[in-house]
Amino acid sequence: MANSKSLIAYFSRKGNNYVGGDIVNLPIGNTEVTAKKIQNLTGSDIFQIKPVKSYPDDYTETTNVAKEEQRKDARPELTETVNNMDSYDVICIGYPNWYGTMPMAVFTFLEGYDFSGKTIVPFCTHEGSGMGSSERDIKKLCPLSKVLSGLAVRGGSVERADKDISDWLKKLDLIQ
Ligand X SMILES: Cc1cc2nc3c(=O)[nH]c(=O)nc-3n(C[C@H](O)[C@H](O)[C@H](O)COP(=O)(O)O)c2cc1C
Q: Which residues bind ligand X (CB under 6 A)?
A: 12-13, 17-19, 26, 29-32, 59, 62-63, 66, 96-100, 125-129, 155
Residue among 99 and 113 whose Cβ is closer to ligand X: 99
Cβ contact 108:78 at 8 Å: yes
Residue among 89 and 99 whose Cβ is closer to ligand X: 99
Q: How far is the CB of 18 from ligand X (least distance, A)?
A: 6
Residue among 42 and 96 whose Cβ is closer to ligand X: 96
The span from the CA of 64 to the CA of 18, in Å, is 14
Residue among 1 and 19 whose Cβ is closer to ligand X: 19
Q: How far is the CB of 86 from ligand X (least distance, A)?
A: 28
Residue among 51 and 96 whose Cβ is closer to ligand X: 96
117: Cβ contacts below 8 Å, ≥ 6 apart:
144, 145
- Counting other chains too, the contacts that 50-56 makes at CB distance below 8 Å and 24 or more residues apart are 50/11, 50/78, 50/79, 50/80, 50/105, 51/76, 51/77, 51/78, 51/79, 51/105, 51/108, 52/76, 52/77, 52/78, 52/79, 53/77, 55/13
Q: How far is the CB of 59 from ligand X (least distance, A)?
A: 6
Q: How far is the CB of 176 from ligand X (least distance, A)?
A: 28
- As a three-state string, the secondary structure of 98-166 is ECCECCHHHHHHHHCCCCCCCEEEEEEEECCCCCCCHHHHHHHHCCCCEECCCEEEEHHHHHHCHHHHH
Residue among 44 and 145 whose Cβ is closer to ligand X: 44
Q: How far is the CB of 99 from ligand X (least distance, A)?
A: 5
Q: How far is the CB of 94 from ligand X (least distance, A)?
A: 8
